[in-house]
Structure 1
Amino acid sequence: MADRTTANETLTRDELAAYFEHLGEEFREDDLEGGDVRVAVGNKTVALNPPEAVDLSVDVVERSPMFRGTRETIQLEVTWKPQS
């Protein structure tokens, strides 16, 4: 069974940078909590337990449809098998 927590928000560029900086700090820290990474998802915080090395996939799409206007997206996916 998989638990999924999802949130969609609109952020300023500064708010997005702060979110990524905080997430980066979480991955960088080796605290007393057993290496947990705490991720804010909407009004919830999820604790994850990644190993030292994780897999990263980056997907960038630049679209120029004729009728809907230009749209750009970045999708980041970080995956791992949790530490025991």
Structure 2
Amino acid sequence: MASSTESSQTMDRQEFAEYLRDLADQFDGESEANIPVGNKSVNLSPTPNVKTEIEVIERSSMLRGNKESIELNARWKRNK
């Protein structure tokens, strides 16, 4: 069974940096990670090894302007 929780919001750069620091703090150590997603929190149990992928995209368009994005993906097999 798969479960997904998503949220989309706009933050200023300082808020985004604080969110990333809080997220990093949740992964630091060996306990569960309590991840804030929108107006709720999701408890995860990351393993000691986490597979990560990062993608940076830069797009230029004469009509729509320049856009940049970062996608970060982290995965692990959940312990039973």
Q: CA deviation at 1:83?
A: 2.0
Indicate which of 36, 57, 78 corresponds to 2:74: 78
Q: CA deviation at 1:65?
A: 1.3
How far, CA to CA, are the matches of 1:83 and 1:39 in structure 2?
Answer: 18
Report what 1:67 is aligned to. 63
SS at match of 2:71: strand
Same amino acid, percent of matched pairs: 38
SS at match of 2:70: strand
Q: Which runs of 5+ in 1 are unaligned?
A: none
Report what 1:18 is aligned to. 18
Q: Which runs of 5+ in 2 are unaligned?
A: none
How far, CA to CA, are the matches of 1:75 and 1:23 in structure 2?
Answer: 15
Report what 1:41 is aligned to. 37
TM-score (norm 2): 0.95
SS at match of 2:34: strand
How many residue pairs get matched?
80
Q: CA deviation at 1:2?
A: 0.8
Q: CA deviation at 1:67?
A: 1.1
How far, CA to CA, are the matches of 2:39 and 2:12 in structure 1?
Answer: 18
How far, CA to CA, are the matches of 2:77 and 2:29 in structure 1?
Answer: 19
How far, CA to CA, are the matches of 2:11 and 2:29 in structure 1?
Answer: 25
